[in-house]
Amino acid sequence: MLTKLMFIPLLFLPFLIRAENYDAELISQKTEIIVSTSSLTKKYSLEIKINNRSGEEYAEISIPFSKMSRVSKISACIKDANGNIVRKLKSSEISQRSAISDFSLYEDDFVKEFTLVHNQYPYSIVCSYESKEDDYLQIENWNPIIDNLIPTRYASLKLTIPYDYSISYLSRLIDKPKVDTLGKSITYEWNASFTNTFSKEKFTAPTETFVPSLIIVPVNFKYESVGSMKDWISYGNWQNSLLEGINVLPLSEQQKIDELTNGVMTEVEKIRILYHHLQDATRYINVTLKTGGLKPYSAAYVSENKYGDCKALTNFMKSMLDYVGIKSYYTKVFAGDPIRKIEKDFVSQQFNHVILCVPLSKDTIWLDCTSKMAFNFLGTFTQNRDVLIIEKDNSHFTKTPSLKVSEVLESRNAEISYSERGNSPIVFINQYRGEMYENLRSMEQSKNEIEKNRILRNYFIENGFELLNYKISLCQRDSLQISTSYEVNAPHVYKHYGNEILVSNIPFSLSQFEKPESRKLPVQIDYPIYKKDTLVYEIPALFRLSNIPPTQSITTRFGEYKIEFIHQDKSIMVVKSLQIYSGSYPISEYKAFYQFYTTVENFEHSTFITLIK
């Protein structure tokens, strides 16, 4: 659905493609923004052409608004192929709903939405509306695109500001603006288009890196309180001002902390105990109010209500550490996958999550206060990121630790038994770290047995195997690995051909990459992939080993792979490992990366052990 601020971004390499190849097209999008001394007014107009029935998903128009960003003057109509108006939107056809998400208590965000469809193709939807804001951190985040499969023929953004009003902007793949001065105003105008549509690809950098986009911010602003984005220290001081006076804990909470930490001598153990208290006593619920979700609820509020969002829970944890005399820092990060670069030369609100940094004399502890994972574990969500430490008059960037190869290990140990009936019983005992640890532990904590069984069958058990039973084991609360043991029936592991049996390798589960001729974007692997297998195959009675494959190994700049076969008395052991290094690889290196990856896949799927009577 179309929104005024959020568009799925695409590659900006214009060339002509016939319109009939597209389900829909964004014919034009015009944005006009006027900044005055007291408000920010935005005028939007757009025309979307619907070429066939499949394109009608783009006939669903969604306009976000909030108490801080008020929407008015919504107008829309349908035009036929000749440009004639065949239907106008009625005010009664516009619905309104809260934009609350499943994990939110309350969000100060709403949506106005409507759908316009016609029975003759092609037709166009023409829409316009206005919005107004009094306080704002951002003038505009402009992505003139609605979908990665839909072209934008023409887009423009015109900004008018007072002559003495300072702005900063960051543009990607958009030409420099045309700038005019008229009286006491300055006008900027940017133009863009996009016609090189493409499909999403595996393990790539954030798409905004390659698409036309424009972010405009005021250098000086008022948003809850007066602030400045002339440098990161100024921005950090504004954020720090939102934290002042909200760290006071109620007496009951102070008494609980005293009770928990009485007699504990080391700072690390105090932090661990209080982090466990946070995890046990509170739950994560998103709360987005007033300042766009940038001012946390107070520590007293969290203590009383036992919930909060990332900001509130981080402030609560920080307040508990303040109470026991341990310094910690509210820290802003852009979390999620893939890792998005923070533009350090462009001071602005570029973050979507808050964590806590606790520097000690010999180490630094990192706490995600929304997490139920192990103590001092950031995981794939926030590892290896540039983060902004908020400290009065000293806000600065540092980096979260990156996951090491040993911290992402997925190991399988399997005993494969022979069965004349064709279904080979296999017992797996697996250990997971990294992403799989996070997924399994989250599942174990939040799902019932029916849901666990479904998730395991669909996402964790090897393809084609029938799950018989399973057990999930966590060593202890702060363990960084989780174990599963399960039994399956596996057809076709032992295949009979006369007096011979071909024994199949149980392959690693690997993502499918695009072929080099169709790949458009570079590869970005945010953390290493490390898999190890020890598979022990039973040699059936009356059979002996006829052929055993040689050891194979590959080492490249992208990763390494090894598989070896060990003949034991009544079994064959297959030991194999795969590492794919973290890193970014340009499209010019993709052919070599793909060759390494497909060579591993070929070994995994075409390796057989031969047994003979």
Amino acid 585 reads Y
| Residue 292 backbone zone (phi > 0: left; psi -120 to 50: alpha; other: beta) | left
Amino acid code (one letter) for 249: L
Q: What is the dihedral of CA 34, 35, 41, 45, to 10 degrees?
A: 30
Architecture category of domain 228-399 in CATH: Roll (3.10)
- Cα separation, 457 vs 470, whole angstroms: 10
Distance from C-alpha of 64 to C-alpha of 50, rounded to nearest angstrom: 22
C-beta separation of 246 from 303 below 8 A: no
Is 432 within 8 Å of 443 (Cβ atoms)? no
8 Å CB contact between 482 and 429? no
Residue 178: how many other CB atoms lie within 10 Å: 11
- At residue 106, the pLDDT reads 43
What pLDDT is stored for residue 102 in this prediction?
A: 42
State the greatest distance between any 2 C-alpha atoms of the chain, in Å, as a whole number. Answer: 98
Residues in the chain, pLDDT under 70: 1-20, 99-108, 287-293
Q: Dihedral, CA atoms, 483, 488, 493, 497, nearest 10 degrees?
A: 160
Find, among 112, 111, 109, 159, the residue nearest to 139 by Cα.
159
The H or E element containing residue 308 is strand 307-308
Angstrom distance (rounded) from CA 583 to CA 457: 31
Instruction: Say which CATH class 19-218 falls into.
Output: mainly beta
Q: Which of 38, 207, 41 is nearest to 129 (CA)?
A: 41
Do residues 143 and 45 touch, judged by C-beta distance below 8 A? no
Angle in degrees, 0-180, between the axes of helices 251-261 and 267-281, rounded to the nearest 10: 130
Spatial distance between the Cα atoms of 516 and 588, rounded to a whole number of angstroms: 10
Helix (H, G, I), strand (E, B) or coil at 19: helix
DSSP line for 503-540? EEP-PPP-PPPPPTTT--S-EEESS-EEEEEEEEEEPP
Residue 73 Cα distances to 6, 38, 130, 160, angstroms: 20, 20, 6, 20
- Residue 167 CB partners (closer than 8 Å, separation 6+): 139, 159, 161, 216, 217, 218, 219
Domain residue ranges in the chain = 19-218, 228-399, 406-612
HEC secondary structure over 546-593: EECCCCEEEECCCEEEEEEEEECCCEEEEEEEEEECCEEECHHHHHHH
406-612 fold: Immunoglobulin-like (2.60.40)
pLDDT score for 108: 55
DSSP 8-state assignment for residue 499: T
Token pair in block for residue 365? 């502890």
Those residues with Cβ within 8 angstroms of residue 102's Cβ, 6 or more apart along the chain or in another chain: none
CA nearest 419: which of 467, 502, 469, 491?
491
- Residue 459: the pLDDT is 87
Find the radius of gyration of the CA atoms of the chain.
Answer: 29
* DSSP state string for 147-158: -TTS-EEEEEEE
Cα separation of 561 and 551, whole Å?
11
How far is Cα 17 from Cα 12, in angstroms, rounded to an integer?
A: 14
How far from 583 is each of 34, 143, 205, CA to CA, in Å? 43, 27, 10
Cα torsion angle, 56, 58, 63, 64, sign = positive
Please determine whether the domains at 19-218 and 406-612 fall in the same fold group of CATH.
yes
Looking at residue 288, its pLDDT comes to: 55
